[in-house]
């Protein structure tokens, strides 16, 4: 089976144009793939060991492209599937930063290796690396695909040893498009490189970087916290103010009450003073009265005058003592004044 027999120039290069006659009959490796059902359409099946080989090769050159060939078989069960069995390092290539060129020497070496180690296989594609510039097919890569690997089942694999990204390309409508392969895990996958870990850490760090959205969210949170704090402070201060105002009003009322009490006491004191004054005045009046009656030398009537002094509810004192004047004496028993005409007692009342 040659590439020429698979290339029908009248049809577009497309996995859908693979004919059963171009394939070997074989069972789909369901068990190896740990699948219960065969996925529909053309399938690309690759062993983990092959992926490891290509990656190990790629990691030997972290800044310049390297590449090689893929060998395997095109099979048919109900539909075609491509089983990639090995990769062969493309020695004697002209590798530089952005391209890889397979020389005649490269092809000689590849054919020798294939014949020696994988005699039952065909060259079914190629691989190369893109150290640090991602997974795609450049103009030169497309040129290689179109002129060297242009059978509808032939594939291309690109690997970036710096980012550990990888991609498979198959033919569809004469354009290489990406396709996810089915991997037979025949060996453990290669551990992630230190550089890959750095890349992952960098990616994580980039995620941590505050985006404007985060800033907006943080500002909103801060604003909400500020508003809540303000409301709480306002409520607390209002409560305190109300409490203090109430307390102050109460104290003011108490002060007013106390002032009133003091005033009342003062008034009472004044009244007492007035009463004292009245009493003093009365005492003076009585003394005066007493003095006026000092010259009355009557043992009989003298005692009666003394009785007048002891009466609390006094007291009618004559304006002027004369033989014709009357002295009104409060009668204790009847509580009304009784009259005694002094003229009737002329014999004891001395003449002026
Ligand atoms: Zn390339």
Q: Please state, for a pLDDT cut of 90, what percent of the chain lies above it.
A: 57
Mean pLDDT of the chain: 80
Q: Mean pLDDT throughout 99-122? A: 90
**DSSP assignments along 86-127, one per residue:** EEEE-TT-EE-SS-EE--HHHHHHHHHHHHHH-TT-EEEEEE
Question: Residue 58 is encoded by which pair of tokens?
Answer: 């790629």
Does 204 score more than 70 pLDDT? no
What is the number of other CB atoms lying within 10 angstroms of the CB of residue 196?
Answer: 17
Does 242 score more than 50 pLDDT? yes
* Centre of ligand 1 from the C-alpha of residue 6, in Å: 25
Does 208 score more than 50 pLDDT? yes
* Centre of ligand 1 from the C-alpha of residue 123, in Å: 19
Please work out, in degrees rounded to the nearest 5, the angle formed at the alpha carbon of residue 288 by the alpha carbons of 350 and 325: 45
Residue ranges near ligand 1 (ion) with Cβ within 5 Å? 138, 141
* Centre of ligand 1 from the C-alpha of residue 36, in Å: 36
131 to 159, 195, 196: CA distances (angstroms): 8, 12, 12
The rounded distance, in Å, linking the Cα atoms of 327 and 316 is 7
More confident call, 318 vs 177: 177
* Centre of ligand 1 from the C-alpha of residue 57, in Å: 15
The rounded distance, in Å, linking the Cα atoms of 3 and 110 is 16
* Centre of ligand 1 from the C-alpha of residue 45, in Å: 22
What is the number of other CB atoms lying within 10 angstroms of the CB of residue 168?
Answer: 20
* Centre of ligand 1 from the C-alpha of residue 61, in Å: 14
pLDDT at 267 (0 to 100) = 86
Of 38-47, 159-168, 277-286, which range is least confident?
A: 277-286
* Centre of ligand 1 from the C-alpha of residue 293, in Å: 154
* Centre of ligand 1 from the C-alpha of residue 59, in Å: 16
| pTM of the model as a whole | 0.55
More confident call, 170 vs 285: 170
Of 38-52, 117-131, 294-308, 338-352, which range is least confident?
A: 338-352
For 34-82, the pLDDT digits (tens) are 999 999 999 999 999 999 999 999 999 998 899 999 999 999 999 999 9
Q: Tell me the pLDDT band of 325, cut-offs 50, 70 and 90.
A: very low
């Amino acid at each position: 089976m040659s590439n020429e027999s698979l290339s029908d120039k009248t049809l577009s290069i497309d996995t859908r144009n693979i004919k059963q006659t171009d394939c070997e009959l074989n069972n789909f490796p369901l068990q190896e793939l740990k699948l219960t059902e065969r996925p529909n359409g053309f399938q690309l099946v690759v062993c983990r060991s092959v992926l490891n080989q290509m990656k190990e090769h790629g990691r030997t050159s972290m800044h310049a492209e390297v590449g090689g060939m893929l060998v395997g078989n095109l099979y048919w069960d109900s539909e075609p599937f491509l089983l990639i069995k090995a990769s062969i390092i493309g020695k004697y290539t002209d590798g530089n930063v952005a391209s890889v060129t397979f020389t005649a020497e490269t092809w000689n070496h590849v054919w020798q290796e294939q014949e020696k180690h994988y005699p039952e296989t065909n060259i079914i594609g190629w691989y190369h690396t893109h150290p640090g510039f991602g997974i795609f097919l450049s103009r030169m890569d497309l040129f290689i695909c179109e002129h060297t690997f242009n059978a509808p089942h032939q594939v291309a694999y690109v690997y970036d040893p710096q980012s550990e990204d990888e991609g498979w390309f198959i033919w569809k409508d004469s354009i290489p498009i990406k396709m996810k392969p089915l991997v037979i895990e025949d060996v453990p996958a290669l551990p992630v490189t230190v550089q890959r870990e750095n890349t992952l850490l960098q990616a994580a760090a980039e995620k941590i970087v505050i985006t404007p959205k985060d800033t907006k969210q943080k500002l909103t949170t801060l604003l909400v916290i500020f508003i809540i704090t303000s409301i709480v402070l306002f409520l607390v201060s209002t409560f305190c103010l109300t409490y203090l105002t109430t307390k102050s009003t109460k104290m003011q009322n108490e002060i007013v009450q106390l002032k009133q009490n003091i005033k009342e006491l003062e008034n009472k004191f004044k009244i007492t003073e007035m009463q004292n004054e009245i009493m003093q005045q009365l005492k003076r009046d009585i003394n005066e009265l007493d003095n006026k009656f000092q010259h009355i030398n009557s043992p009989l009537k003298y005692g009666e005058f003394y009785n007048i002094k002891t009466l609390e509810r006094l007291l009618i004192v004559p304006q002027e003592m004369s033989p014709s004047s009357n002295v009104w004496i409060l009668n204790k028993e009847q509580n009304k004044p009784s009259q005694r005409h002094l003229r009737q007692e002329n014999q004891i009342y001395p003449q002026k």
